[in-house]
Amino acid sequence: MIDTKTSPLNRAAEAVARSTPSRLVKRVTGLSDRMVAWLFIGPTMVLLLAINIFPLFWAIGLSFTNYRANRPNEPVESVGLRNYERILTDPDIWIAMQTTANFVFWTILLQTVIGFGLAYLIDRKFRGHAFWTTIILVPMMLSPAVVGNFWRFLYEPQIGLFAYAVSFVSGIPPTEIEMLSNVSLAPWSIIIVDTWMWSPYVMLICLAGLRSIPDYIYEAAEVDRASPIRQFLSITLPMALPFIMLAILFRGIENFKMFDMVNLLTGGGPGSTTEVASITLKREAFEKWRTGYSSAFAIILFVAVFGLANIYVKALNRVKQR
């Protein structure tokens, strides 16, 4: 048993208490539990307010002006809701939204199917399943900047491994497989990389769902002579569905904000075929320097993500109640 009076941690605590100035001791000893709790979370709250909440309100304020960050000395005029009106009637922004929707739809579909499939396989608990789980999780642990850069090399038509692998299977010469510069292939190049990177994440959530299904339900189904397909459709899928929904929502929110991978792989090109909303936003804010306009655009995207996040929290609470 550990002697708490003479343990090193206790001795260190006593040393700290002895070295605390008596004036500070007198102040702290009278504090309630609630006050101590506030003392601990206070610095985090202040940082959160300074880094997240203040810029948000500042951006809301800017979205009603014609402010340009590259001309700070020019007078700032209020334009009311004109920025919002322009964005919501601009066909180019509308197309960027559709590109985003296309990207979000295909990545979520592929990630859900592959992620759930992997979770179903890993849940079989075959020999070495822990090792394979770790291997599958590796892409998720890499930085998007690293992933973007090495997939750029993999996609190279002259030296890239991807082009050679596709060429080996399809017979098309590798120099003709230009994933990043072909108009019809460029969106798929991003979808493939995002699916490769984030399917393990969906797998993790689905695996948690599959492991939460009690064995006795399957045993009862076996007694009733239910076929494996019937067990999958009537037990596995319905009971794992809240977890799948959670994964879909979470990936939806993340992919809606997707910037780094697209910027590294295609930069929105060729032309504007892969120009998702966040790339358009960056161009408006830091290439055209329309700060007020881009603030309004950012607020529109924020409301969309915030709305989805609300649904996400609601779904999370439902999963918790199970």
Residues that bind other proteins (CB under 8 A): 84, 88-89, 91, 94, 97-98, 100-101, 300, 303-304, 306-308, 310-311, 314
**Using CB atoms within 10 A of its CB, is residue 90 exposed (0-12), middle (13-18) or buried (19+)?**
middle
d(CA 68, CA 56): 17
Kindly tell me the burial class for residue 283, based on how many C-beta atoms sit within 10 Å of its own C-beta (0-12, 13-18, 19 or more): middle
Helix residue ranges, H only, 128-236: 129-141, 144-154, 161-170, 186-211, 215-223, 228-231
Task: Judge whether 319 and 79 are in contact, CB under 8 Å.
Answer: no
For other proteins, the closer CB: 41 or 303? 303
Tell me whether residue 30 or residue 80 sits nearer to other proteins (CB atom). Answer: 80
Instruction: Quote the tokens at residue 94.
Output: 């509308």
How near is the Cβ of 276 to other proteins at its closest, in Å? 12
| Of residues 196 and 302, the one with the C-beta less far from other proteins | 302
The two three-digit tokens of residue 128, written as one number: 């070495």
CB of 121 to other proteins, least distance (A): 32
Shortest distance in whole angstroms from residue 245 CB to other proteins: 12
Amino acid found at 205: I
Q: Which is nearer to other proteins, 39 or 303 (CB)?
A: 303
DSSP 209-220: HHHTS-HHHHHH
Residue by residue, DSSP assigns 8-22 as HHHHHHHHHHHHS-H
Closest approach of other proteins to the CB of residue 101, in Å: 4
CB of 48 to other proteins, least distance (A): 18
The SS3 of residue 123 is coil
Rank residues 179 and 258 by Cβ distance to other proteins and give the closer one: 258
User: Does residue 75 have a cis peptide bond before it, meaning omega lies within 30 degrees of 0?
Assistant: no
Residue 78: strand, helix, or coil:
strand
The least CB distance from residue 102 to other proteins, in Å, is 9
Which residue, 97 or 140, has its beta carbon nearer to other proteins? 97
Closest contact distance (angstroms) between CB of 63 and other proteins is 12
